Amino acid sequence: MTERSIVIVEGNSEQRKQIEHLLSTVSDNIVATDFDHLRRITDQCEQQAPLWAEVQKLISTAKQQAKQVKPAKRSRDYRSPELFRCLVGSSHGLMQVKKAIMQVAESETNVMLLGESGTGKEVVARNIHYHSLRRGKPFVPINCGAIPAELLESELFGHERGAFTGAIASRRGRFEMAQGGTLFLDEIGDMPSSMQVKLLRVLQERCFERVGSEKTIQSDVRIIAATHRDLDSQIEAGKFREDLYYRLCVFPITIPPLRERVEDLSALVECLLDRLKSERQARITLTESAVAALRRYLWPGNVRELANLIERLLIMYPNQRVDIADLPGKYRPNVDNVDIEQLARDAPDHHVENTVSCPTLPDGGLDLKQHLADVERSLIEQALAEADGVVARAAEILRTRRTTLVEKIRKYKLEVNPPRREFDGPLIVNS
Protein backbone atom coordinates (compact mmCIF):
# COMPACT_ATOMS: atom_id res chain seq x y z
CA MET A 1 0.00 0.00 0.00
CA THR A 2 1.08 3.58 -0.57
CA GLU A 3 2.12 5.82 2.32
CA ARG A 4 -0.69 7.79 3.89
CA SER A 5 -0.97 10.66 6.41
CA ILE A 6 -2.74 9.91 9.71
CA VAL A 7 -4.67 12.76 11.32
CA ILE A 8 -6.26 12.66 14.78
CA VAL A 9 -9.06 15.22 14.99
CA GLU A 10 -10.02 16.68 18.37
CA GLY A 11 -12.62 19.21 19.41
CA ASN A 12 -16.40 19.28 19.62
CA SER A 13 -18.53 17.21 17.28
CA GLU A 14 -19.38 20.10 14.92
CA GLN A 15 -15.73 21.07 14.51
CA ARG A 16 -14.67 17.45 13.97
CA LYS A 17 -17.28 17.02 11.22
CA GLN A 18 -16.03 20.09 9.39
CA ILE A 19 -12.37 19.08 9.67
CA GLU A 20 -13.09 15.43 8.72
CA HIS A 21 -14.99 16.55 5.61
CA LEU A 22 -12.12 18.85 4.61
CA LEU A 23 -9.40 16.21 5.12
CA SER A 24 -11.41 13.43 3.46
CA THR A 25 -11.35 15.40 0.20
CA VAL A 26 -7.54 15.22 0.18
CA SER A 27 -6.21 11.88 -1.13
CA ASP A 28 -4.03 9.57 1.01
CA ASN A 29 -5.31 10.88 4.35
CA ILE A 30 -6.69 8.63 7.13
CA VAL A 31 -8.93 10.67 9.44
CA ALA A 32 -9.72 9.38 12.94
CA THR A 33 -11.37 10.99 15.97
CA ASP A 34 -9.32 9.05 18.57
CA PHE A 35 -6.85 6.14 18.87
CA ASP A 36 -9.62 3.52 19.20
CA HIS A 37 -11.13 4.78 15.95
CA LEU A 38 -7.67 4.70 14.35
CA ARG A 39 -7.14 1.08 15.48
CA ARG A 40 -10.41 -0.03 13.84
CA ILE A 41 -9.44 1.71 10.56
CA THR A 42 -6.00 0.06 10.48
CA ASP A 43 -7.51 -3.38 11.16
CA GLN A 44 -9.79 -2.93 8.13
CA CYS A 45 -6.86 -1.82 5.96
CA GLU A 46 -4.84 -4.90 6.95
CA GLN A 47 -7.75 -7.17 5.94
CA GLN A 48 -8.14 -5.40 2.59
CA ALA A 49 -4.41 -5.11 1.80
CA PRO A 50 -4.11 -8.35 -0.28
CA LEU A 51 -7.15 -7.37 -2.38
CA TRP A 52 -5.81 -3.84 -2.85
CA ALA A 53 -2.41 -5.18 -3.97
CA GLU A 54 -4.11 -7.47 -6.54
CA VAL A 55 -6.18 -4.59 -7.92
CA GLN A 56 -3.07 -2.41 -8.25
CA LYS A 57 -1.29 -5.24 -10.08
CA LEU A 58 -4.15 -5.64 -12.58
CA ILE A 59 -4.27 -1.89 -13.23
CA SER A 60 -0.51 -1.78 -13.85
CA THR A 61 -0.70 -4.73 -16.29
CA ALA A 62 -3.60 -3.16 -18.20
CA LYS A 63 -1.71 0.14 -18.59
CA GLN A 64 1.36 -1.64 -19.97
CA GLN A 65 -0.73 -3.59 -22.49
CA ALA A 66 -2.51 -0.42 -23.62
CA LYS A 67 0.84 1.22 -24.37
CA GLN A 68 1.96 -1.74 -26.47
CA VAL A 69 -1.19 -1.91 -28.61
CA LYS A 70 -0.94 0.30 -31.71
CA PRO A 71 -4.03 1.45 -33.62
CA ALA A 72 -4.56 -0.81 -36.61
CA LYS A 73 -3.98 0.91 -39.92
CA ARG A 74 -7.07 0.90 -42.10
CA SER A 75 -6.58 -0.83 -45.39
CA ARG A 76 -6.78 1.39 -48.43
CA ASP A 77 -9.29 -1.06 -49.90
CA TYR A 78 -11.64 -0.62 -46.93
CA ARG A 79 -15.12 0.44 -47.93
CA SER A 80 -17.90 1.66 -45.68
CA PRO A 81 -21.03 -0.40 -46.42
CA GLU A 82 -23.01 2.79 -47.06
CA LEU A 83 -20.30 4.47 -49.13
CA PHE A 84 -21.04 3.27 -52.63
CA ARG A 85 -24.79 2.73 -52.20
CA CYS A 86 -25.52 4.72 -55.38
CA LEU A 87 -22.24 4.07 -57.19
CA VAL A 88 -22.71 0.38 -57.82
CA GLY A 89 -22.33 -0.94 -61.33
CA SER A 90 -19.67 -1.61 -63.93
CA SER A 91 -20.73 0.55 -66.86
CA HIS A 92 -18.04 2.52 -68.66
CA GLY A 93 -19.44 5.87 -67.53
CA LEU A 94 -19.55 4.87 -63.86
CA MET A 95 -16.08 3.35 -63.96
CA GLN A 96 -14.79 6.67 -65.32
CA VAL A 97 -16.41 8.46 -62.37
CA LYS A 98 -14.83 6.08 -59.86
CA LYS A 99 -11.45 6.49 -61.54
CA ALA A 100 -11.75 10.27 -61.37
CA ILE A 101 -12.65 10.09 -57.67
CA MET A 102 -9.46 8.19 -56.88
CA GLN A 103 -7.37 10.52 -59.05
CA VAL A 104 -8.47 13.74 -57.38
CA ALA A 105 -9.33 12.62 -53.84
CA GLU A 106 -5.93 13.09 -52.18
CA SER A 107 -5.24 16.48 -53.76
CA GLU A 108 -6.54 19.83 -52.51
CA THR A 109 -8.00 20.68 -55.93
CA ASN A 110 -11.50 22.17 -56.18
CA VAL A 111 -13.90 19.77 -57.89
CA MET A 112 -17.00 20.51 -59.98
CA LEU A 113 -19.61 17.74 -60.25
CA LEU A 114 -21.83 17.96 -63.31
CA GLY A 115 -24.93 15.90 -63.88
CA GLU A 116 -28.69 15.80 -63.90
CA SER A 117 -30.74 15.86 -60.70
CA GLY A 118 -30.81 12.50 -58.95
CA THR A 119 -27.61 11.10 -60.46
CA GLY A 120 -25.83 10.99 -57.09
CA LYS A 121 -23.64 14.10 -57.04
CA GLU A 122 -23.57 14.30 -53.25
CA VAL A 123 -22.67 10.61 -53.05
CA VAL A 124 -19.69 11.28 -55.32
CA ALA A 125 -18.72 14.30 -53.19
CA ARG A 126 -18.81 12.19 -50.02
CA ASN A 127 -16.65 9.55 -51.70
CA ILE A 128 -14.07 12.19 -52.64
CA HIS A 129 -14.00 13.41 -49.03
CA TYR A 130 -13.82 9.83 -47.71
CA HIS A 131 -10.70 9.06 -49.75
CA SER A 132 -9.06 12.45 -49.12
CA LEU A 133 -6.52 13.48 -46.49
CA ARG A 134 -9.34 15.47 -44.83
CA ARG A 135 -11.35 12.34 -44.13
CA GLY A 136 -11.23 12.75 -40.34
CA LYS A 137 -12.63 16.28 -40.56
CA PRO A 138 -16.22 17.42 -41.22
CA PHE A 139 -18.06 17.04 -44.52
CA VAL A 140 -20.56 19.92 -44.60
CA PRO A 141 -23.17 20.13 -47.41
CA ILE A 142 -25.30 23.14 -48.27
CA ASN A 143 -27.87 23.54 -51.04
CA CYS A 144 -27.27 26.99 -52.50
CA GLY A 145 -30.58 26.90 -54.36
CA ALA A 146 -32.77 26.04 -51.37
CA ILE A 147 -31.83 29.02 -49.16
CA PRO A 148 -33.23 32.53 -49.78
CA ALA A 149 -30.66 35.00 -51.11
CA GLU A 150 -30.93 37.25 -48.05
CA LEU A 151 -30.07 34.34 -45.72
CA LEU A 152 -27.41 32.59 -47.78
CA GLU A 153 -24.55 34.86 -46.65
CA SER A 154 -25.34 34.13 -42.99
CA GLU A 155 -25.59 30.39 -43.72
CA LEU A 156 -22.18 30.36 -45.40
CA PHE A 157 -20.20 32.76 -43.22
CA GLY A 158 -22.19 32.94 -39.97
CA HIS A 159 -23.31 36.07 -38.10
CA GLU A 160 -22.87 37.92 -34.83
CA ARG A 161 -25.59 38.69 -32.34
CA GLY A 162 -27.63 41.69 -33.44
CA ALA A 163 -26.23 41.65 -36.98
CA PHE A 164 -29.79 41.74 -38.33
CA THR A 165 -33.37 41.42 -37.13
CA GLY A 166 -33.81 38.03 -35.52
CA ALA A 167 -30.07 37.44 -34.87
CA ILE A 168 -30.53 36.84 -31.15
CA ALA A 169 -27.24 34.93 -30.82
CA SER A 170 -23.96 34.48 -32.66
CA ARG A 171 -23.89 31.56 -35.09
CA ARG A 172 -21.19 29.76 -37.04
CA GLY A 173 -21.54 29.45 -40.79
CA ARG A 174 -20.85 26.44 -42.99
CA PHE A 175 -17.30 27.57 -43.72
CA GLU A 176 -16.49 27.49 -39.99
CA MET A 177 -18.29 24.17 -39.52
CA ALA A 178 -16.23 22.63 -42.33
CA GLN A 179 -12.89 23.99 -41.05
CA GLY A 180 -10.18 21.48 -41.95
CA GLY A 181 -12.66 19.40 -43.95
CA THR A 182 -14.78 19.62 -47.08
CA LEU A 183 -17.56 22.07 -47.96
CA PHE A 184 -20.02 20.75 -50.56
CA LEU A 185 -21.79 23.57 -52.44
CA ASP A 186 -24.73 21.83 -54.08
CA GLU A 187 -26.66 23.58 -56.88
CA ILE A 188 -23.99 26.26 -57.21
CA GLY A 189 -25.60 27.34 -60.47
CA ASP A 190 -28.55 28.75 -58.48
CA MET A 191 -26.41 30.97 -56.27
CA PRO A 192 -27.37 34.70 -56.51
CA SER A 193 -24.88 36.95 -58.32
CA SER A 194 -24.24 39.02 -55.18
CA MET A 195 -23.14 35.92 -53.29
CA GLN A 196 -20.96 34.73 -56.18
CA VAL A 197 -18.74 37.80 -55.70
CA LYS A 198 -18.33 37.12 -51.96
CA LEU A 199 -17.64 33.43 -52.54
CA LEU A 200 -14.99 34.30 -55.13
CA ARG A 201 -13.22 36.53 -52.58
CA VAL A 202 -13.13 33.70 -50.02
CA LEU A 203 -11.71 31.28 -52.59
CA GLN A 204 -9.03 33.79 -53.55
CA GLU A 205 -8.01 35.09 -50.11
CA ARG A 206 -8.90 32.07 -47.95
CA CYS A 207 -10.54 34.25 -45.31
CA PHE A 208 -13.95 35.77 -44.48
CA GLU A 209 -15.87 37.71 -41.84
CA ARG A 210 -19.12 36.83 -40.16
CA VAL A 211 -22.08 39.06 -40.93
CA GLY A 212 -21.91 41.98 -38.49
CA SER A 213 -18.26 41.39 -37.55
CA GLU A 214 -14.96 42.93 -38.58
CA LYS A 215 -12.87 40.01 -37.30
CA THR A 216 -11.23 38.06 -40.14
CA ILE A 217 -11.43 34.27 -39.92
CA GLN A 218 -8.94 32.13 -41.84
CA SER A 219 -10.54 29.44 -43.98
CA ASP A 220 -9.07 25.96 -44.45
CA VAL A 221 -11.66 24.03 -46.44
CA ARG A 222 -11.74 22.08 -49.66
CA ILE A 223 -14.53 23.06 -52.03
CA ILE A 224 -16.60 20.57 -54.00
CA ALA A 225 -19.36 22.20 -56.04
CA ALA A 226 -22.18 20.60 -58.02
CA THR A 227 -24.86 21.69 -60.44
CA HIS A 228 -27.40 20.26 -62.84
CA ARG A 229 -27.35 23.44 -64.94
CA ASP A 230 -25.29 24.20 -68.04
CA LEU A 231 -22.89 26.75 -66.59
CA ASP A 232 -21.61 27.72 -70.05
CA SER A 233 -25.08 28.93 -70.96
CA GLN A 234 -25.39 30.59 -67.54
CA ILE A 235 -22.17 32.50 -68.20
CA GLU A 236 -23.32 33.59 -71.65
CA ALA A 237 -26.60 34.82 -70.13
CA GLY A 238 -24.73 36.75 -67.44
CA LYS A 239 -26.18 34.64 -64.62
CA PHE A 240 -22.91 33.06 -63.49
CA ARG A 241 -19.50 34.67 -63.07
CA GLU A 242 -16.88 33.34 -65.45
CA ASP A 243 -14.02 33.94 -62.97
CA LEU A 244 -15.86 31.96 -60.29
CA TYR A 245 -16.45 29.19 -62.81
CA TYR A 246 -12.73 28.80 -63.44
CA ARG A 247 -12.02 28.85 -59.70
CA LEU A 248 -14.48 26.03 -59.02
CA CYS A 249 -14.16 23.98 -62.20
CA VAL A 250 -10.53 22.93 -61.79
CA PHE A 251 -11.35 19.21 -61.98
CA PRO A 252 -14.80 18.58 -63.48
CA ILE A 253 -16.45 15.17 -63.18
CA THR A 254 -19.52 14.39 -65.26
CA ILE A 255 -21.89 11.85 -63.70
CA PRO A 256 -23.85 9.97 -66.39
CA PRO A 257 -27.65 9.79 -66.13
CA LEU A 258 -29.22 6.42 -65.43
CA ARG A 259 -30.56 6.07 -68.99
CA GLU A 260 -26.96 6.07 -70.26
CA ARG A 261 -25.93 3.21 -67.97
CA VAL A 262 -28.96 0.93 -67.90
CA GLU A 263 -26.65 -2.07 -67.66
CA ASP A 264 -26.14 -1.02 -64.01
CA LEU A 265 -29.87 -1.09 -63.25
CA SER A 266 -29.98 -4.67 -61.92
CA ALA A 267 -27.06 -4.02 -59.56
CA LEU A 268 -28.69 -0.77 -58.40
CA VAL A 269 -31.98 -2.53 -57.72
CA GLU A 270 -30.22 -5.20 -55.64
CA CYS A 271 -28.31 -2.56 -53.69
CA LEU A 272 -31.48 -0.58 -52.97
CA LEU A 273 -33.34 -3.74 -51.92
CA ASP A 274 -30.55 -4.69 -49.51
CA ARG A 275 -30.62 -1.22 -47.98
CA LEU A 276 -34.38 -1.09 -47.64
CA LYS A 277 -34.54 -4.63 -46.25
CA SER A 278 -32.61 -3.53 -43.16
CA GLU A 279 -34.97 -0.55 -42.76
CA ARG A 280 -38.31 -2.26 -43.45
CA GLN A 281 -37.56 -5.93 -42.69
CA ALA A 282 -39.05 -6.94 -46.03
CA ARG A 283 -37.90 -7.67 -49.57
CA ILE A 284 -39.35 -8.06 -53.06
CA THR A 285 -38.23 -10.03 -56.11
CA LEU A 286 -38.44 -8.45 -59.57
CA THR A 287 -39.04 -10.77 -62.49
CA GLU A 288 -36.81 -10.58 -65.57
CA SER A 289 -39.65 -9.00 -67.52
CA ALA A 290 -40.10 -6.30 -64.86
CA VAL A 291 -36.39 -5.49 -64.88
CA ALA A 292 -36.41 -5.45 -68.69
CA ALA A 293 -39.29 -2.97 -68.65
CA LEU A 294 -37.41 -0.74 -66.21
CA ARG A 295 -34.40 -0.78 -68.53
CA ARG A 296 -36.55 0.62 -71.32
CA TYR A 297 -37.71 3.54 -69.19
CA LEU A 298 -35.82 6.85 -69.66
CA TRP A 299 -35.52 7.71 -65.92
CA PRO A 300 -35.76 11.52 -65.90
CA GLY A 301 -35.32 11.39 -62.10
CA ASN A 302 -32.33 9.04 -62.39
CA VAL A 303 -31.23 6.97 -59.37
CA ARG A 304 -33.39 9.00 -56.99
CA GLU A 305 -36.49 8.08 -58.99
CA LEU A 306 -35.43 4.42 -59.05
CA ALA A 307 -35.00 4.44 -55.26
CA ASN A 308 -38.47 5.94 -54.81
CA LEU A 309 -39.99 3.31 -57.10
CA ILE A 310 -38.34 0.40 -55.28
CA GLU A 311 -39.51 1.74 -51.92
CA ARG A 312 -43.05 2.14 -53.26
CA LEU A 313 -43.07 -1.44 -54.59
CA LEU A 314 -41.78 -2.69 -51.26
CA ILE A 315 -44.71 -1.05 -49.49
CA MET A 316 -47.25 -2.36 -52.01
CA TYR A 317 -45.88 -5.91 -52.38
CA PRO A 318 -43.85 -6.81 -49.25
CA ASN A 319 -42.08 -10.17 -49.57
CA GLN A 320 -43.77 -10.82 -52.92
CA ARG A 321 -42.78 -11.34 -56.54
CA VAL A 322 -43.24 -8.22 -58.68
CA ASP A 323 -43.98 -8.75 -62.37
CA ILE A 324 -44.28 -6.26 -65.20
CA ALA A 325 -48.05 -5.96 -64.65
CA ASP A 326 -47.44 -4.81 -61.06
CA LEU A 327 -45.34 -1.83 -62.12
CA PRO A 328 -46.95 1.64 -62.18
CA GLY A 329 -48.29 2.54 -65.62
CA LYS A 330 -45.49 4.82 -66.81
CA TYR A 331 -42.87 2.13 -66.19
CA ARG A 332 -44.61 -0.41 -68.40
CA PRO A 333 -43.93 -0.51 -72.16
CA ASN A 334 -46.38 1.68 -74.02
CA VAL A 335 -47.44 -1.01 -76.50
CA ASP A 336 -50.42 -3.30 -76.67
CA ASN A 337 -50.05 -7.05 -76.41
CA VAL A 338 -46.33 -6.78 -75.77
CA ASP A 339 -44.37 -10.00 -76.10
CA ILE A 340 -43.09 -10.38 -72.54
CA GLU A 341 -40.54 -13.07 -73.41
CA GLN A 342 -39.17 -10.98 -76.26
CA LEU A 343 -38.99 -7.98 -73.92
CA ALA A 344 -36.85 -9.97 -71.49
CA ARG A 345 -34.55 -11.13 -74.30
CA ASP A 346 -34.15 -7.53 -75.44
CA ALA A 347 -33.42 -6.32 -71.89
CA PRO A 348 -30.09 -4.57 -72.56
CA ASP A 349 -31.75 -2.31 -75.12
CA HIS A 350 -33.71 0.77 -74.04
CA HIS A 351 -36.08 3.07 -75.81
CA VAL A 352 -34.66 5.97 -77.80
CA GLU A 353 -36.46 8.41 -80.01
CA ASN A 354 -36.58 7.19 -83.59
CA THR A 355 -35.36 10.20 -85.55
CA VAL A 356 -33.69 8.41 -88.49
CA SER A 357 -34.71 5.54 -90.69
CA CYS A 358 -33.23 2.13 -89.92
CA PRO A 359 -30.42 1.19 -92.37
CA THR A 360 -30.50 -2.09 -94.24
CA LEU A 361 -28.05 -4.76 -93.13
CA PRO A 362 -25.51 -5.59 -95.91
CA ASP A 363 -25.46 -9.15 -97.21
CA GLY A 364 -21.97 -9.77 -95.86
CA GLY A 365 -22.76 -8.28 -92.47
CA LEU A 366 -20.83 -5.42 -90.84
CA ASP A 367 -18.71 -4.40 -87.89
CA LEU A 368 -21.47 -2.94 -85.71
CA LYS A 369 -19.14 -1.15 -83.29
CA GLN A 370 -17.22 0.55 -86.08
CA HIS A 371 -20.41 1.38 -87.99
CA LEU A 372 -21.95 3.10 -84.95
CA ALA A 373 -18.73 5.00 -84.30
CA ASP A 374 -18.68 6.23 -87.92
CA VAL A 375 -22.31 7.36 -87.66
CA GLU A 376 -21.63 9.16 -84.37
CA ARG A 377 -18.53 10.87 -85.74
CA SER A 378 -20.40 12.02 -88.86
CA LEU A 379 -23.27 13.48 -86.84
CA ILE A 380 -20.86 15.33 -84.52
CA GLU A 381 -18.99 16.80 -87.50
CA GLN A 382 -22.28 17.97 -89.03
CA ALA A 383 -23.40 19.53 -85.75
CA LEU A 384 -20.07 21.34 -85.31
CA ALA A 385 -20.27 22.67 -88.86
CA GLU A 386 -23.82 23.92 -88.30
CA ALA A 387 -22.78 25.54 -85.02
CA ASP A 388 -19.71 27.23 -86.57
CA GLY A 389 -17.44 25.28 -84.25
CA VAL A 390 -19.15 26.43 -81.02
CA VAL A 391 -19.23 23.29 -78.88
CA ALA A 392 -22.03 24.42 -76.58
CA ARG A 393 -24.31 25.12 -79.55
CA ALA A 394 -23.42 21.81 -81.18
CA ALA A 395 -24.30 20.01 -77.94
CA GLU A 396 -27.75 21.65 -78.03
CA ILE A 397 -28.26 20.47 -81.61
CA LEU A 398 -27.33 16.90 -80.63
CA ARG A 399 -29.35 17.14 -77.41
CA THR A 400 -26.46 16.06 -75.23
CA ARG A 401 -24.38 17.64 -72.49
CA ARG A 402 -21.53 19.83 -73.59
CA THR A 403 -19.03 17.91 -71.44
CA THR A 404 -20.11 14.63 -73.07
CA LEU A 405 -19.62 16.14 -76.51
CA VAL A 406 -16.18 17.45 -75.52
CA GLU A 407 -15.10 13.91 -74.61
CA LYS A 408 -16.31 12.54 -77.95
CA ILE A 409 -14.53 15.32 -79.87
CA ARG A 410 -11.28 14.30 -78.24
CA LYS A 411 -12.07 10.61 -78.75
CA TYR A 412 -12.48 11.05 -82.52
CA LYS A 413 -9.70 13.69 -82.71
CA LEU A 414 -11.96 16.17 -84.46
CA GLU A 415 -10.86 19.69 -85.39
CA VAL A 416 -12.97 22.61 -84.20
CA ASN A 417 -12.74 26.35 -84.70
CA PRO A 418 -10.94 28.31 -81.95
CA PRO A 419 -13.57 28.89 -79.22
CA ARG A 420 -14.35 32.17 -77.58
CA ARG A 421 -13.46 30.82 -74.14
CA GLU A 422 -10.78 28.53 -72.90
CA PHE A 423 -13.13 25.72 -71.88
CA ASP A 424 -14.97 25.53 -75.21
CA GLY A 425 -12.13 23.60 -76.86
CA PRO A 426 -11.59 19.84 -76.75
CA LEU A 427 -10.86 18.75 -73.22
CA ILE A 428 -10.89 15.40 -71.49
CA VAL A 429 -13.07 15.91 -68.45
CA ASN A 430 -12.18 12.79 -66.50
CA SER A 431 -8.50 12.35 -67.32
Specify if 81 maps to a domain: no
**Closest residue by Cα to residue 294 from 327, 270, 272:** 327
Report the CATH number at residue 131: 3.40.50.300
Q: Is the pLDDT of residue 360 over 50?
A: yes
Q: Is the pLDDT of residue 285 over 60?
A: yes
Shared domain check, 243 and 123: yes
Specify if 302 maps to a domain: yes
More confident residue, 238 or 77: 238
More confident residue, 418 or 157: 157
DSSP assignments along 215-281, one per residue: -EEE---EEEEEESS-HHHHHHTTSS-HHHHHHHTTEEEEPPPGGG-GGGHHHHHHHHHHHHHHHHS
Shared domain check, 277 and 251: no
Shared domain check, 162 and 96: yes
Specify if 350 maps to a domain: no
10-14, 167-171, 411-415: least confident range: 10-14
Amino acid 426: pLDDT:
39
Give residue 412's domain range: 368-424
Amino acid 256: pLDDT:
94
The 10s digit of each residue's pLDDT in 4-57 is 555 555 555 655 565 565 555 544 555 555 656 656 666 666 666 666 676 567
Band (355; pLDDT cuts 50, 70, 90): very low
CA pair distance 220, 379, nearest whole angstrom? 46
Shared domain check, 107 and 246: yes
Specify if 211 maps to a domain: yes
Amino acid 150: pLDDT:
84
Q: Is the pLDDT of residue 80 over 50?
A: no
CA atoms within 13 A on the CB side of 129: 24
The 10s digit of each residue's pLDDT in 195-243 is 999 999 999 999 999 999 999 999 999 999 999 999 999 999 999 999 9
Q: What is the mean pLDDT of residues 163-176?
A: 90
Band (118; pLDDT cuts 50, 70, 90): very high
Amino acid 4: pLDDT:
53
Report the CATH number at residue 275: 1.10.8.60
Amino acid 356: pLDDT:
46
Shared domain check, 325 and 180: no
Shared domain check, 224 and 156: yes
Specify if 110 maps to a domain: yes
Query: Under a CB-based contact definition with an 8 Å cutoff, are residues 86 and 302 in contact?
Result: no
Q: Is the pLDDT of residue 415 over 60?
A: yes
Burial of 168: CB neighbours in 10 Å, binned 0-12, 13-18, 19+: exposed
Shared domain check, 117 and 186: yes
Shared domain check, 181 and 161: yes
Specify if 191 maps to a domain: yes
pTM over 0.85: no
Give all strands (DSSP E) within 136-239, no chain letters.
139-143, 182-186, 207-209, 216-218, 222-227
Query: Under a CB-based contact definition with an 8 Å cutoff, are residues 260 and 93 in contact?
Result: yes
More confident residue, 339 or 151: 151
Q: What is the β-pairing status of strands 216-218 and 251-254?
A: unpaired
Band (359; pLDDT cuts 50, 70, 90): low
Shared domain check, 242 and 101: yes
Q: Look at the chain and report how many structural domains it folds into.
A: 4
Task: Give just the sign of the alpha carbon dihedral 373, 376, 382, 383.
Answer: negative
Percent of all residues in the chain with a pLDDT value above 70, rounded to a whole number: 71
Q: Is the pLDDT of residue 302 over 70?
A: yes
Q: What is the mean pLDDT of residues 183-199?
A: 94
Shared domain check, 136 and 39: no
Q: Is the pLDDT of residue 114 over 80?
A: yes
Amino acid 15: pLDDT:
58
Q: What is the mean pLDDT of residues 273-291?
A: 87
Query: Under a CB-based contact definition with an 8 Å cutoff, are residues 305 and 265 in contact?
Result: no
Q: Is the pLDDT of residue 82 over 90?
A: no
Q: What is the mean pLDDT of residues 146-173?
A: 90
Q: Is the pLDDT of residue 172 over 90?
A: yes
Shared domain check, 246 and 110: yes
Shared domain check, 150 and 135: yes
Average pLDDT in the chain? 80
